[in-house]
Amino acid sequence: MKSTPIFESAGHRWHIVHDQDESRVIDANVYALQYGDSAMLMDPGGFEVFPSVLSALIDVMPMASIKTALVSHQDPDIASSLPLWNSCVPDMTWYVPSLWVGFIRHFGALEAHIEGIPEEGMRLSLDGLPLEIIPAHFLHASANVHLYDPTAKIYFSGDVGAALLEPGHSPLVGDDADGGRAFDLHIKHAEYFHRRWMPSMHAKQEWCERVSKLAIDFLCPQHGAIYSGQNVSRFINWFSELPVGDWRVKPET
């Protein structure tokens, strides 16, 4: 895997770690936010990809700067690397939706420092940088969170926005000022994922209304590619119209 910068301004940086080389586990992105001397990981990833995530990250930041991790929900592709991270950086703080703390503990490292996120979300500061943990219940897990960085206008959206793409794909969806052509090609690879994994029309609608009011330059999903510029509102509008919650839907061919 490799680290690619998404945003940089005066010691404030976002990176995506992407291009997974192991194809037997679902392809997933990890995001890292650096501010001052601290770094925070968003959905640090699965046990199997830990060595490649770690080696991509230490190309761009000291391991000791990684102080915090956000776990959007309980899936193994999100956080089964927790015991490995904990053995490398034992003073990390893990922010996990309260509902899932006892489940996440099954990954191991009972001594890890886990903070439960309240159901209504919370505010957080990374070395003075204000951040918001935004609830995204039932998208797809019954307790689920996202993270908003209002300074960088970056929204980490967990499994929302996920697409199942071919290996070697670009970290961005494509040109956002092309009238939507790149978006239309991309979104075909996102449709099955959202229709099959997202269970609740009500939760989806609530999320679309809430997030459409935020200033977002980059919407960053845990699978697939980043929506930037006009592709952010294209995605929110598309998701708002999409029927979800039907297990009979068939994968795209």
Size of the site for Fe ion (CB under 5 A): 4
Minimum distance from residue 114 beta carbon to Fe ion (Å): 19
User: Which residue bears the tokens 């956000």?
Assistant: 70
Least distance CB 191 / Fe ion (angstroms)? 16
Polymer length in residues for the chain: 253
CA distance 43 to 18: 12
With CB under 5 A as the contact rule, which of the stretches 3-11, 93-101, 125-133, 156-164 interacts with Fe ion? 156-164
List the one residue from 107, 159, 216, 228 that touches Fe ion (CB under 5 A).
Answer: 159
Binders of Fe ion among residues 217 to 236 (CB under 5 A) are: 222
Given strand 145-149, what is the order of strands in its sheet? 122-126, 129-135, 145-149, 154-156, 218-220, 227-228
- Between 19 and 75, whose beta carbon lies closer to Fe ion? 75
| Residues 51-90, interacting with Fe ion (CB under 5 A) | 75, 77
3-state secondary structure of 24: coil
Planar angle of CA 227, 96, 172, nearest 5 degrees: 15
Output 34 or 222, the one with its CB closest to Fe ion. 222
Residue 58 to residues 42, 47, 55: CA-CA distances in angstroms? 16, 17, 5
Stretch that binds Fe ion, among 80-88, 107-115, 158-166, 229-237 (CB under 5 A): 158-166
Contact of 38 with 250, CB cutoff 8 Å: no
List the one residue out of 18, 50, 2 whose CA is nearest residue 172.
18
60-77 burial, b at 16+ Cβ within 10 Å, e below that, comes to: bbeeebbbbbbbbbbbeb
Closest to Fe ion by CB, 29 vs 34, is: 29
User: Should residue 149 be labelled a site residue for Fe ion when binding is judged by CB under 5 A?
Assistant: no
Select 13 or 171, whichever has its Cβ closest to Fe ion: 171
Whether the link from the prior residue into 18 is cis, omega within 30° of 0, is: no
Residue nearest Fe ion, CB atom distance: 75
Q: In the bound complex, what is the minimum distance in angstroms from residue 62's beta carbon to Fe ion?
A: 27
Would you say 34 or 157 has its CB closer to Fe ion? 157
Q: Least distance in Å: CB of 74 to Fe ion?
A: 8
Q: Among the candidate windows 13-21, 60-68, 159-167, 232-240, which touches Fe ion by CB under 5 A?
A: 159-167
Q: How far apart are CA 151 and CA 154, in angstroms?
A: 8
* CB-nearer residue toward Fe ion: 43 or 149: 43
Least distance in angstroms from the C-beta of 36 to Fe ion: 29
In the complex, which residues of this chain contact Fe ion (CB under 5 A)? 75, 77, 159, 222
